[in-house]
Amino acid sequence: MNLNQGVSGRPPYDDNNIFAKILRGEIPSRKVYEDEFALAFHDINPQAPHHVLVIPKGRYVAFADFAATAPDAEITGFIRAVGHVARMLGFEESGYRLLANMGPDSHQEVPHLHVHLFAGRPLGPMLAT
Ligand code: AMP
């Protein structure tokens, strides 16, 4: 399987990406949580019984530029939101997996940082071979 098909994961940020449009309310999403720093919504193509995406509200292409350039308050707010969503949805009892793709080898498709939150069944090995 060739995984080298995703976006670069590097700036510049594209304001026309699909998650930017969701943040602006231009296309719908099935929202599960929102605060000052983050929005969480159901993935349109779930890979587990529960598959939620959590995105920061700021303009970050991937984890790399978020970690390097986001103000401390945005990083704290976003990470706390991810934890809050997992707890709020009841995932802590059975456990869950977080995943964030960055760049071509990860096959990142959407160039706005997002954390996948998977839960609802045993999730198998860490990586598909
Ligand atoms: P990634 O490969 O990490 O960039 O993941 C992108 C994810 O976004 C995939 O799991 C898609 O199913 C999901 N996705 C794409 N468009 C939408 C949308 N409009 N609403 C919700 N999830 C979406």
Is residue 1 very low, low, confident or very high in pLDDT (cuts 50, 70, 90)? very low
* Ligand 1 near 101 CB (within 6 A): yes
Percent of the chain with pLDDT strictly greater than 90: 94
Mean pLDDT of 2-14: 84
Give the C-alpha separation, 39 to 42, whole Å: 10
114 is catalytic: yes
Single pTM value for the model: 0.96
- What stretches of 6-100 adopt beta strand conformation (E)? 31-34, 38-42, 50-56, 96-99
- Please give the structure tokens belonging to residue 69: 């350039």
Residues in the chain: 129
Distance separating the N- and C-terminal Cα atoms of the chain: 9
Is 62 touching ligand 1 by the criterion CB < 6 Å?
A: no
Query: Could you report the per-residue pLDDT of 51-96, keeping only the tens digit for each?
Result: 999 999 999 999 999 999 999 999 999 999 999 999 999 999 999 9
Indicate which atom in ligand 1 lies nearest the CA of residue 43.
22
What pLDDT does residue 4 have? Answer: 59
Q: Report CA dihedral (35, 70, 59, 84) to the nearest 10 degrees.
A: -30
Residue 5's pLDDT is 74
Q: What is the pLDDT of residue 57?
A: 98
Question: What is the rounded average pLDDT of the residues 6-20?
Answer: 97
Segment 17-35, tens digit of pLDDT? 999 999 999 999 999 999 9
